[in-house]
Amino acid sequence: MGFDSQALAAELVAGNRRALSRAITLVESTRADHRAQAAELLQILTPKAGNSIRVGISGVPGVGKSTFVEAMGNKVLDKGHRLAVLAVDPSSSLSGGSILGDKTRMELLSRRREAFIRPSPTAGNLGGVARRTRESVLLCEAAGFDIIFVETVGVGQSETAVAEMTDLFLLLLLPGGGDDLQGIKRGIMELADMVLVNKADGDLAAAARHSAADCRSALTLIHPRTRGWRVPVMTCSALSGNGIDGVWEKIESYRSSVSDSGEFHKRRAAQARDWMWFEISEGLLAVFKLNYKFRLIRSIIRFPC
């Protein structure tokens, strides 16, 4: 039986989770026929996408990203939202796939029907992983998820990729970083729309407050990424749930502030434009490489040694 993009799209929009999983598998595939089917599907579904807030979540391994997603996720579901969690994890082949273990760390969340968790353990070049995640975001939105979390391990270039596909970039820090802020690169701080010092509980509570103060003063030297928005630095404990309500309130006030100022729409438009150019240059490069290979083979056949 041939591929029926209309039928799959209809099932996905109707809320069929298996259809959504299948669609994401298609966009993740590198097979040429799958990519063609994915393109067909995206063409049908893109007009239905976009109605969400896309939140990027990053931080060094072990900072508590998954625990935070579990805590925050359950809160937003209780408020009647639907949440999809995706991962950009180009390092998974090195780390053994840390995000793969997330279903166990997001135990409650993964059992709830209003949540959809999709680990993407496939290693590959960052451009490829980011492209698939971007397309998966659109699919989740078309399926009715109105909050999208994109989690990434804070190593390498993945933060930039995630910041470029989300409306709000949330950076998680550990308490007790000291003056150098745990070696957090200035570049990453510049991407943040919100900073959270996690693990502000027990013996670490005081250290977390100090780190937050250090971070606030470091941020005064950095130009905020979003015009008209002062990057808040908060403390929380993803484990106990302390401070999580306040974080959600901040996310909501960010959303209304950037919507009113027009920044929300502006950033999305700029991201869509960048994405289009990325796709065009990738496409041209692929044609060029194919053509180059073809010419190389032809010249070898013509001039055998």
Ligand X SMILES: Nc1nc2c(ncn2[C@@H]2O[C@H](COP(=O)(O)OP(=O)(O)OP(=O)(O)O)[C@@H](O)[C@H]2O)c(=O)[nH]1
Q: Which of 72, 197, 212, 238 binds ligand X (CB under 6 A)?
A: 238
C-alpha to C-alpha distances, 226 to 68, 71, 105, 137, 254, nearest whole angstrom: 24, 26, 32, 22, 10
Q: Which of 62, 121, 178, 262 binds ligand X (CB under 6 A)?
A: 62
Candidates 240, 244, 73; CA nearest to 147 is: 73
**What minimum distance in Å lies between the beta carbon of 130 and ligand X?**
18
Cβ proximity to ligand X, 41 vs 161, nearer residue: 161
**What minimum distance in Å lies between the beta carbon of 201 and ligand X?**
5
User: In this structure, how many other beta carbons lie within 10 angstroms of the beta carbon of residue 266?
Assistant: 13
C-alpha to C-alpha distances, 277 to 15, 45, 273, nearest whole angstrom: 32, 20, 6
Q: Residue 195: helix, strand or coil by DSSP? A: strand
Q: Which of 11, 141, 164, 201 binds ligand X (CB under 6 A)?
A: 201
118 binds ligand X (CB under 6 A): no
* Pairwise CA distance, residues 154 & 280, whole Å: 28
Give the interface size with ligand X as a residue count (CB under 6 A).
Answer: 18
Residue whose CB is nearest to ligand X in the complex, by number:
64
Q: Which of 37, 52, 66, 211 binds Mg ion (CB under 5 A)?
A: 66
**What minimum distance in Å lies between the beta carbon of 38 and ligand X?**
27
239 binds ligand X (CB under 6 A): yes
Q: Is 257 exposed, middle or buried (0-12, 13-18, 19+ CB in 10 A)?
A: middle
Binding site for ligand X (CB under 6 A): 59, 61-67, 98-99, 105, 153, 198-199, 201, 237-239
Binding site for Mg ion (CB under 5 A): 65-66
